[in-house]
């Protein structure tokens, strides 16, 4: 049989099979896949061993749902409600635990607002400290018609919001004349300095009247030499008024200059890396610069923060009833930890001498005693010589009582291990050759 005849026979057989079968929808869409799948025993499509078409079983459709074990979900509504209540309770407890109790108000112009941003980063690890941003852009102590800082300071200090420390940094916009009525005073003139110093005192007094500590921050060096010279004169006024009011003054001038005392836009950050600290205008700070400036102010704030933390436990501690105090008065005192962090002082219940007793000097060679003879072994085995009772007031017993009971020290003896004044004897004779 030739090849062409064989191909014709195979084509006729395939045509007969395709025309005699009744395919389903999937077979009609892809007849070749269905046929060859059934020919080689496919599990899902085509024909079986006897030529009958396979029946496709369609599983019932289920709605797509998120797994019940994900994010604590459950099909039980009571369990779901309980889980929601527990989560809400945990969130409220965490919020109460991290609620700030120490508030720092940062007031001033744009530089003061940048300082507040740096302080927020510096105290980010202390959730009980809150930095309040109380600044005003383009403000100062000269233009009280634009923003009256002495009046604003009184409002901030008298506000219902509790303030523990006030940090003031302003003055970068104050290189202009002060207008009072019909009179105008040139910047840094004698009368200008008097009025300006009085306004600095007014800002400090507004917080001091409410018993709020104040930290005054000086202005940094500027890129413009003329502006920088004027800022230096303003710093002199700030420092003088702060010293007069007994207010801490933080000087930033040297911290923002290079090794030659000149303006530099770059400098070390808090990690010691050289980064850009000043913006392009030569006045304001970058984010790293604000963080570096805040680093110098944090030390003064932490002093008030530590004092606040020491006073808080004492004020909240309940007083002991008199009956309990009278009972404890007769009992022996035990060492207890101080509430304010002071070191623990241990006191011995036995009152003894203030100085250490000394032992009698022993001779280099003691009395001789025979090791042979009657009764020698019995005599050596005794704790004390025959006929002598142990004396409780002996020097050795007094020394043991002083060191181990009273906690005293023993004075060093000559040529003993604890005698650090010992020196090797000098030999005048020349060494042998």
Q: CA angle, 429 as apex, 425 and 433 as ends, to 5°?
A: 120
Q: How far apart are CA 239 and CA 418, in angstroms?
A: 55
pLDDT tens per residue across span 167-205: 999 999 999 999 988 899 999 999 999 999 999 999 999
Range name among 46-55, 87-96, 235-244 with the lowest pLDDT average: 46-55
Say if CB 275 and CB 288 are below 8 A apart.
yes
pLDDT tens per residue across span 112-134: 999 999 999 999 999 999 999 99
Q: How far apart are CA 52 and CA 124, in angstroms?
A: 76
pLDDT above 80 (res 57) = no
pLDDT above 70 (res 147) = yes
Q: What confidence score (pLDDT) does residue 314 get? A: 45
Query: Taking the C-alpha atoms of 305, 309, 312 and 318 in order, what is their torsion angle to the nearest 10 degrees?
Result: 180
pLDDT above 90 (res 329) = no
pLDDT tens per residue across span 251-269: 999 999 998 889 999 999 9
Q: How far apart are CA 40 and CA 22, in angstroms?
A: 19
pLDDT above 70 (res 392) = no
Say if CB 220 and CB 293 are below 8 A apart.
yes
Tokens 């309990």, residue located: 324
pTM more than 0.75 = no
Q: Which of residues 377 and 288 earns the better pLDDT score?
A: 288
Q: Where in the chain is the domain with CATH 3.40.50.1110?
A: 97-315
**Domain 97-315 fold:** Rossmann fold (3.40.50)
pLDDT above 50 (res 68) = no
pLDDT tens per residue across span 341-380: 455 444 444 444 445 556 566 666 666 666 665 555 555 5
């Amino acid at each position: 049989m030739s090849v062409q005849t064989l191909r014709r026979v195979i084509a006729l057989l395939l045509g007969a099979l395709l025309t005699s079968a009744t395919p389903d929808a999937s077979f009609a869409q892809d007849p070749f896949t269905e046929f060859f799948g059934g020919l080689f025993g496919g599990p899902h499509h085509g024909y079986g061993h006897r030529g009958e078409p396979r029946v496709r079983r369609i599983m019932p459709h289920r709605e797509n749902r998120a797994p019940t074990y994900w994010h604590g979900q459950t099909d039980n509504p009571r369990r779901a409600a309980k889980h929601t209540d527990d989560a809400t309770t945990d969130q409220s407890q965490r919020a109460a635990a991290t609620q700030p109790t120490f508030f720092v108000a940062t007031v001033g112009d744009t530089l003061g607002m940048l300082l507040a941003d740096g302080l927020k980063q510096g105290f980010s690890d202390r959730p009980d400290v809150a930095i309040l941003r109380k600044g005003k852009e383009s403000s100062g102590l000269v233009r009280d018609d634009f923003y009256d800082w002495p009046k604003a300071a009184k409002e901030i200090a008298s506000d219902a919001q509790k303030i523990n420390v006030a940090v003031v940094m302003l003055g970068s916009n104050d290189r202009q004349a002060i207008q009072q009525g019909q009179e105008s005073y040139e910047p840094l003139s004698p009368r200008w300095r008097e009025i300006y110093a009085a306004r600095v005192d007014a800002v400090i007094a507004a917080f001091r009247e409410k018993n709020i500590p104040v930290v005054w921050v000086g202005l940094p060096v500027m890129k413009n030499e003329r502006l920088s010279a004027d800022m230096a004169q303003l710093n002199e006024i700030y420092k003088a008024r702060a010293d007069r009011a007994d207010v801490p003054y933080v000087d930033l001038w040297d911290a923002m200059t290079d090794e030659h005392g000149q303006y530099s836009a770059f400098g070390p950050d808090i990690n010691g890396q050289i980064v850009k600290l000043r913006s392009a205008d030569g006045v304001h700070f970058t984010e790293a610069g604000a963080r570096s400036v805040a680093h110098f102010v944090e030390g003064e704030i932490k002093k008030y923060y530590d004092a606040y933390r020491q006073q808080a436990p004492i004020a909240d501690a309940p007083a002991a009833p008199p009956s309990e105090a009278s009972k404890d008065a007769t009992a022996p005192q035990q060492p207890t930890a101080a509430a304010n962090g002071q070191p623990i002082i241990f006191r011995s219940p036995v009152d003894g001498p203030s100085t250490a007793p000394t032992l009698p000097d022993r001779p280099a060679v003691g009395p001789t005693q025979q090791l042979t003879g009657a009764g020698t072994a019995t005599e050596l085995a005794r704790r004390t010589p025959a006929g002598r009772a142990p004396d409780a007031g002996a020097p050795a017993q007094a020394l043991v009582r002083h060191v181990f009971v009273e906690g005293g020290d023993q004075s060093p003896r000559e040529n003993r291990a604890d005698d650090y004044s010992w020196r090797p004897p000098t030999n005048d004779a020349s060494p042998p050759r």
